[in-house]
Structures are given as structure tokens and as C-alpha cells.
Amino acid sequence: MKKFFNWVLILGACVGAFYLIGLIVPRNQTQASKTTLQAKPAELFAVVSDPTTRSNWNPDVSAISERSSRDHKMWSVTDKHARTYDLEVVLEEEPLSWQATYTIEGTRFVLHFDFKWYGEGSLARVTKTFDTSDTWLRAKRFLLPTPEASSVALLNALCQQVGEPGTAKEN
């Protein structure tokens, strides 16, 4: 009986530590990356703003289809891990800015692409912000690897789509 009680105490301590980690980890987290390219901002914007080609270059997307919406463009996305979610395009300022929001397993993501002129080419920046309100999910995202691609991976994939080497760095 004493061993059982000790195991219950150890298990309780582990659960408490896991919960405490979830309380300490910030609810909102942001990843940002940037790189310079020879491609012009309009070329990059054309690739990012055309969701039908997203499965060709985005490491997270395996299939995408349009959904009807009155306010913003909506897309039904299936990722490489067979999860389906709705992607809502909330900002399109051609050729400089594109932003979308989506929710996967209780975490809300905001994906923002910025393009600026840089000499004859462009400066591309990707910001990926995620908001996880659930304490347990925050601890899980912190302790275990997540299947979503980082902002660096997304920007490198975009570079390769326009025929340039991926040289993105964290910002």
C-alpha cells in the first residue's frame, strides 16, 4: 500500500509540474524570419496570395479548396498530418502584405507575409504568431515537438518556389 501511495504522489507531482510549465509558458508566441531575394515583391505576393499553389511549396499543406464566405476569402486546408482547418485571408495589400488566420487543435495562428523593395529585388519577412489559451496545450506545445513548419521553413520554401536558394534567418 505504501508503494502505491508513493506512486500516486510521484504521478501527482509530474502532473503538477506539467501544469506549472503550462502556466509559465506565454500564451502568445511569435516566430519571425526574413531574407533578401532577387525576385520582386509582386512575384512573391503572387505566389503567397494564390492558395491553389500552396500545396506545391508550403511544407504544411497537402490539399486546399475554396469555401464560400461573405466577408473574407476562406479556404479549407488539409495538412500533411491529415488535419483539416479553415484558413481565412484577413489582409491582402498587393504587392506588399498578406495575412491569414486559422485554428488547429485549440491554437489560433496568424500568418503574415511582408514584402518590401530591397535594391532590384525584395526583402521578405514572415511572422507566425500563435495563441494557445489552454494551459495543458501550452505545456504540450512547449515540451513536445510541433508538426507545424516554422517561419524560417515557410520562407525558405517560398524562396525555393520562386527558384532561389532558401537563406532565411530568424528575425
Q: What is the predicted pLDDT for the residue at 48?
A: 94
133: left (phi over 0), alpha (psi -120 to 50) or beta: alpha
Label residue 23 by pLDDT band (50, 70, 90): confident
In sequence order, the 6+-apart residues with CB closer than 8 A to the CB of 152 are: 31, 33, 168, 169, 170
Which one, of 59, 60, 41, lies nearest residue 125 by Cα?
41
Based on the structure, what is the number of domains in the chain? 1
> For residue 39, which phi and psi values (nearest 5 degrees)?
-65, 150
**Residues of the domain holding 97:** 2-170
147 pLDDT above the threshold of 90: no
Q: What is the predicted pLDDT for the residue at 78?
A: 93
- Beta bridge partners, 88, equal 74, 101
pLDDT digits (tens, 9 = 90+) for 63-88: 998 888 778 889 999 998 899 999 99
Check if the beta carbon of residue 10 is closer than 8 Å to that of residue 90. no
Q: What CATH number is associated with residue 105?
A: 3.30.530.20
pLDDT digits (tens, 9 = 90+) for 117-146: 999 999 999 999 999 999 989 998 888 888
CA distance 151 to 86: 19
Q: What is the predicted pLDDT for the residue at 159?
A: 93
Whole-number percent of the chain with pLDDT over 90? 60
Whole-number percent of the chain with pLDDT over 70? 100
Q: How many CB atoms lie within 10 A of CB 17?
A: 11
